[in-house]
Amino acid sequence: MILLEGLSKSFNGVKVLDDLNIEFEEKRITVVIGRSGGGKSVMLKHIIGLMKPDSGKVFIGGVDINSLKKKELNEIRKKFGMVFQDGALLDSLNVFENVAFPLRRHLKLSENEIKDKVYSVLDDVGLEGQDNKMPSEISGGMRKRVGVARALILNPEIMLFDEPTTGLDPIMSDVINNLIISMHNKFKFTGIIISHDISGAFKTGDTVAMLYNGKIIESGTPEYFKNSDNRVVSQFISGSMEGPISI
Ligand SMILES: Nc1ncnc2c1ncn2[C@@H]1O[C@H](COP(=O)(O)OP(=O)(O)O)[C@@H](O)[C@H]1O
Ligand SMILES: [Mg+2]
């Protein structure tokens, strides 16, 4: 479904991605974990074509996206829903209009069709009755849910989540992780989650992969991952200062 092949990217002479290889399975959830500043968001930006690699390829459904013309890339982008780290809501629009935004932009629907779709997805994410609130009036966890609703509204084949639980307390993190699982069960998208929340990764991921020094150094089921004898992986999982990861 999504394949990153030999991806390398440097900024100002510093290699952030270094011959990175990973395949994301169709209709599964893959969680990519790694340290802050390790290149996780950079990897996501390559997947949606917001960044171009110095070398290597990004295949979406067998198509090398960097060989496409702008118009063709825009078509591919419609397959994606993206939940940004900070929610990226439009502060001047209420919850309803934030969620309706992609519909108004991409589809020509009647006002009634828009209402049906928006109310339905707001129900799905547990925000019924919140449609008139402004982003500044709701909690961080609710803003994340608005971000999820907006990403889901075009029923995308692929959902990308950039640190969906960062900045939330453990209980709200669990609520969001459960929401991702139930939305995945309902909509069956191919999911890629970037996270440094280890317990969330084990709970939501069919596959867990670790990005370290610009490469994917381990990848497998949560059970496989937990039992990895890679010392970098075990240090990261245990959150210990002691080990091969330099600080
Ligand atoms: N557009 C950019 N220009 C220059 N440096 C960048 C750019 N985007 C990311 N970086 C650098 O790449 C590194 C990885 O960033 P990022 O992917 O955001 O990390 P994270 O794993 O925390 O998401 C950081 O050192 C960051 O400063
Ligand atoms: Mg990031």
Q: Is the pLDDT of residue 247 over 80?
A: no
Q: Which of 16, 17, 50 has most ligand 1 atoms within 8 Å of CB, for mutation?
A: 16
pLDDT at residue 228, as a whole number: 94
**Ramachandran angles phi, psi of 53, nearest 5°:** -70, 155
Please state, for a pLDDT cut of 70, what percent of the chain lies above it: 100
Cβ atoms of 44 and 211 within 8 Å: the answer is no
Cβ atoms of 2 and 57 within 8 Å: the answer is no
**Burial (0-12, 13-18, 19+ Cβ within 10 Å), 67:** exposed
Mean pLDDT score across all residues of the chain: 93
Mean pLDDT of 10-23: 97
pLDDT at residue 105, as a whole number: 87
Nearest CA to ligand 1 atom 6: 11
Q: Is the pLDDT of residue 19 over 90?
A: yes
As a whole number of Å, the CA-based R_g of the chain is 18
Q: Is the pLDDT of residue 86 over 80?
A: no
Per-residue exposure over 192-224, b if at least 16 CB sit within 10 Å of its own CB, e if not: bbbbbbbebbbbbbebbbbbbbbbbbbbeebee
Mean pLDDT of 116-127: 93
Cα(163) to ligand 2 centroid in Å equals 7
Cα(78)–Cα(81) distance, rounded to whole angstroms? Answer: 8
The pLDDT confidence band at residue 163, using thresholds 50, 70 and 90, is very high
Please state, for a pLDDT cut of 90, what percent of the chain lies above it: 81
* CATH domain 2-238 topology: Rossmann fold (3.40.50)
* 207-212 β-sheet, strand order: 80-83, 158-162, 190-195, 29-33, 207-212, 215-220
Residues in the chain: 247
Nearest partner of 19 among 212, 195, 232, judged by Cα: 212
The larger pLDDT score, comparing residue 86 to residue 43, is at 43
Asked whether 42 lines ligand 1 (CB < 6 A), one says: yes
Tell me: the pLDDT tens digits for 190-225? 999 999 889 999 999 999 999 999 999 999 999 999
